[in-house]
Structures are given as C-alpha cells and as structure tokens.
Amino acid sequence: ELEAVIFDLDGVITDSAEYHYLAWKQLCDELEIPFDRQFNNNLKGVGRMASLELLLARGTRSYSPEEKASFAARKNEYYKKLIARITPDDLLPGIDALLSALHEAGIRTALASASRNASAILGYLGISDRFDVVTDPGALKKGKPDPEQFFLAAELLGVPYRNCIGIEDAQAGIDAINAAGMLSVGIGGYLEGAALRLSSTAELSLERLREAFFRR
Ligand code: G16
Ligand code: MG
C-alpha cells in the first residue's frame, strides 16, 4: 500500500538551481575560476562542499581547508540573499495540487533535500506546514546516492520503505531511492533506473503515482 511520498527540493518543488548558479558564479568570478550554467548542471543534487571541490578543481591553485570553509560560507551568504526573493509563485507546476491530493488521501509527505537551506525555502514558498517530516542533511553520514536520507525520512514517518515513493530530478537521487527499496519517480532529462519518468512536474498526479506503484 502506498503510504508516503518523499520529495527532493531543488528541481522538484522549486527551481533553486538558478540561485545556486548565481551565488557560485559570484564566488567563481572573485576566484577567477571559469563557471557557466552548463557546468552548474553537474552540481544538481550535489552537496555544498562537494560542489565547491568540483569548482576549485577547475582553477589553477589549491586551497587550505580553512580557505575552503570560508569560500563555502561566502557562497552561502550570497545564496541566502538570493533565495529571500522566492515566493509561493515559484512552486513548480503540479506540486501544490499534488500536495493537496496526498493530504486528502491520507498519504504522508517528507522532504529529503541535500540543502541546508531547505526549511527556509519551504517558508518562502509558504508550504512549511504541508510536510510531515523535513530531514536535516546535517544529520547524515552520507549524501545521495547513499539511501541514508530516504531511510531517515521513512523512519521519521513510521512507514516501511517499500510503501514509499521518492521523487527526484538528479541521477544521484534516483540511485538513492532505488537503493532504499522505494519506487523512484524521475523528473526531466534521462534518469537511469527511474520506475516512472516524467518530463516535468506538471505531469505529476496522485493517479499516476498510484498506477506506477501498483504496477511494480
Ligand atoms: C540542492 C542542490 C545542490 C546544492 C545542495 C546543497 O539539492 O541541487 O545544487 O549544492 O542542495 O545546498 P545548500 O548549499 O543550500 O546546503 P537538492 O537535494 O534539494 O536537489
Ligand atoms: Mg534536486
């Protein structure tokens, strides 16, 4: 029986990737490291320090752990200023209706985002109270593609893994959902191993999720 749906944030609930791009761009300009929107796609679903490492590898010098920590903090300050512009209009299509349909059907909801800013973004979107559980990525030993965050979400919800669906836009996220023994739904692009692939969140509906869940 389908009992819970676990959502990724960036690329599923709202498109925060553009704000990550602008914040990293400002830092990279200051460090004279080349960076563009195309390379930004490689940072989708990748945690903050891992993203920084990918960017610094494109520069010419190496940095101490202290310098790296200060770069990550600087990027996050830029990012926090940018996300303050987010409003309920920035919810991706279909999400508001899906959250309502899940609530009416008594299906529980959780957020499994790699972002430490996820709670703030839910607040700006006006949907903080529509998730039963928001997992803290700071509490994890391993990020996606490890299933740890999806296990944690299901445990906090009190729902068996096999009764959960996970929705993700990044390959590492789909791999994490599959490794957790949950049904994976992939949004956009080609995502290997997704049980259900949709080109946009506008195609999400409770009916589609149920159909994919029972077909498994
Ligand atoms: C998001 C983004 C990533 C970002 C990560 C960490 O993941 O897709 O680009 O690096 O969170 O964000 P922060 O620096 O705010 O902690 P997700 O899991 O919501 O797709
Ligand atoms: Mg994502």
What would the pLDDT profile of 85-117 be if each residue is shown by its tens digit?
Answer: 999 999 999 999 999 999 999 999 999 999 999
Look at residue 84 and give its three-state secondary structure.
coil
Dihedral-angle region of residue 190 (phi above 0 means left; psi in -120 to 50 means alpha; beta otherwise): beta
CA 49 to chain centre: 16
116 is in an annotated binding site: yes
Q: What ipTM does the predicted assembly reach?
A: 0.93
What pLDDT, on the 0 to 100 scale, is given for residue 51?
96
- 10 pocket-lining for ligand 1 (C-beta < 6 Å): yes
Catalytic site residue 10?
yes
User: pTM for this one?
Assistant: 0.95
Tell me which of 9, 10, 55 to substitute to probe ligand 1's pocket, judged by most ligand atoms within 8 Å of the beta carbon: 10
Provide φ and ψ at 183, rounded to 5°.
-85, 125
